[in-house]
Chains A and B, each alone.
Chain A
């Protein structure tokens, strides 16, 4: 049997002279009917360009296929070479035979059209359906991707749906015409872990139902275990290794595949948790570096033309925790759970409604500054002013604290630059001369300029490539030991959290639902949300595991005026592990 899609020696280049600037340098692979091929690689490896060449969307991005062939077996058993196809032929192939979903569901849909009309468009174009027929077909499509209450949702606009729902709509659109090949370009990267698990489960189910082929692109090798039949690993525009799923995961041949599998943090249910934590019951009660007590952040909601207060979004509700020097507390939870708002409130970027937090200055070691809490942001490209030199960037906190750019400041700059692993001549360079990982190192150096007691790391490694991520994590752990820093580490990535956290706080709907020793929380989660979160983490060991399709949404955080939640009711499990008792309305257990 000849393969359904056959790519041979594909070379794609960009710019004025595509042969000189190749991004894909000779990639060959086959996809059989009904098979799922996962393409794994870091950013810049050419994985997206490879698949964009298949439906020739790469032409619109300025790319050109230099050589090679892409042979697609069409529905009528004729074979079409997509590299030589005319634009007219391609229009018929796109959508009808090859569907595609993208990384960002929020930006892939037109915000001014209802989702119904966007799905109908696909039916209109490829099957000539109109009016009621198209409407009915669109409803069926939404039913197929398990969107509850499909008929009503057709009239919704993209802004009324969550990211996970929108990605389902995208899948519905892509499959509207029974395309036999679905290209999924990092379809879950922008989504929360639990939503990611839902989408992955949906894709696996749809594949079983329709028998379509799929090309699944991801940077997360843990994710492929659940869905792929075959895996292709790409690096610098070359396919360094490809083969059966089990063969690649268990017996990787190429060093890069081995590196991806081993250097990168994988979730190990608490077995890889750090053991160097100092917190123990016998030791004298140390003074915490940061104590947060009853932190509450509410945003008022107004209604009517007189903007009368109607209620409040309870973004953060009664959060308290202690953070010891030299300790990492990780706050995990999905977007909207209030974890970033907690951090912003502690730093004074968001006004807290109630509650106290005190960063306690230690007199012991070197002088600690008046601003003992510093922060490293998620996006290293946005958190450095592009117009300032590294020296000015590092000098800013010192100047803000009333210091000046003198010999001692320069000495500290050089020390930190060297300590975070940047070349010593970095000081008179500008941010755009550094890579993402190097920029994040710069941000770390900047946060340490004032010798803080606590560093808040808000998704500080999430934007980095996996292997860079591992190195930055290592650096963070080293710095923590050296300067006795306390970290408040905010993340949605459980594998990363496992590597750096001593303790973990799980946030759900603005409250901490479970907190305790990292190993205990990860290995033995007590709250149903924590259990759900941990079950959703993709790992290399969970092969082709069947996920329960779960369409629950986070409850609304808008409360009526004057609403006060009842006191927290904690159940203790062991010395340092407690979970909030579950209110029946909050979460129902599955089933």
Chain B
């Protein structure tokens, strides 16, 4: 609760926090089916309708309600982003801790592997994974997860190395504390702050990568909707029905802005140097 208050006391944290919460509500409503219309129902009489009271954001080529599809799309995109970041942060934390703790050869192997992954541009690497396994929601979750794992590995390994050399870890060794205890209470607990910041920022990147994959037709498959897929479907109709492009585009942009603002705010709030001045 203290952290929530701190976020809302921070200017960009307040804006980012409100945006992210708004998106979470939309995503939940979209996933649970509380949309103005059925996002899959095709209404041939109302094809390419411009925005009206009935269709807030107009309709697409098949007469489907854009607002409803957008809500479902946000839900879909967020699901993929959250699951892939969960995958990346979990895998990255385990790998980073292992690299830092065991050092030597283990460190070398893990970090060189991560360097190889980092050498590819994110979207290219995701494409590679999808190309091997085949398109689909779960594939894109795994692909995006793999793409962002190296970043978490690095974020964890650095501080873990320095924590490992701290006196309290030496002290724990003299008590005979178990490895699990030292790794969880002394290392992981002190990594919560950098991990939180990284997770927030990675969510923004993951959203963008998911949109990219879907845009290329390798992520979410029609007739389901996702923000990237909606953009992709609308690109031939840019001149006749610009609303098809504008709303999903805006949705992507604002969500990424929200996560970035929130991430920056968290970085400020969780920085111990900032905390000491106002406890």
Contacts and interface: CB of A to CB of B under 8 A. Distances in A.
A401 B176 contact: yes
A399 B177 contact: yes
Given A377-B167, A399-B181, A400-B178, A385 B186 contact: yes
Interface residues of B, number: 20
B171 interface: yes
A371 B177 CA distance: 11
A397 B175 contact: yes
A575 interface: no
B174 interface: yes
A382 B172 contact: no
B40 to A, nearest CB: 48
B185 A392 contact: yes
Nearest to A378: B167
A382 B171 CA distance: 10
Interface residues of A, number: 27
Contacts of A397: 175, 177
A348 interface: yes
A400 B168 CA distance: 14
Contacts of B174: 347-349, 371, 373-375
A401 B177 CA distance: 7
B190 interface: yes
Contacts of A375: 170-171, 174
Q: Is the interface of A mostly helix, strand, loop or mixed?
A: loop
A450 B175 contact: yes
Given A349-B173, A396-B177, A400-B176, A382 B185 contact: no
B235 interface: no
A348 B170 contact: no
Candidate in B176, B178, B185, B186 with the most chain A CB atoms within 10 angstroms: B176
B175 A400 contact: yes
Given A392-B185, A400-B181, A383 B167 contact: yes
Interface in A386-417: 386-388, 392, 396-397, 399-401
A382 B175 contact: no
Contact of A388 (B167, B175, B176, B189): B189
A377 B168 CA distance: 9
Contacts of B112: none
A57 to B, nearest CB: 21
Contacts of B175: 371, 374, 396-397, 400-401, 450
Interface in A248-288: none
A446 B181 contact: no
Contacts of A379: 167
A384 interface: yes
A382 B181 contact: no
A267 to B, nearest CB: 28
Interface string B267-279: 0000010001000
Nearest to B165: A382
A443 B172 CA distance: 12
B177 A382 contact: no
A432 B276 CA distance: 9
B190 A386 contact: yes
A377 B172 contact: no
A379 B172 CA distance: 15
Contact of A382 (B168, B173, B189, B276): B168
A349 B177 contact: no
A383 B168 contact: yes
A382 B167 CA distance: 5
Contacts of A371: 174-176
B185 A377 contact: no
Given A373-B174, A397-B177, 4 more contacts: A347-B174, A387-B192, A396-B181, A450-B175
8 contacts: A373-B174, A374-B175, A383-B171, A384-B168, A387-B190, A387-B192, A388-B189, A396-B181
Closest A-B pairs by Cβ, 8 of them: A383-B167, A397-B175, A400-B177, A400-B175, A382-B167, A387-B189, A377-B167, A385-B168
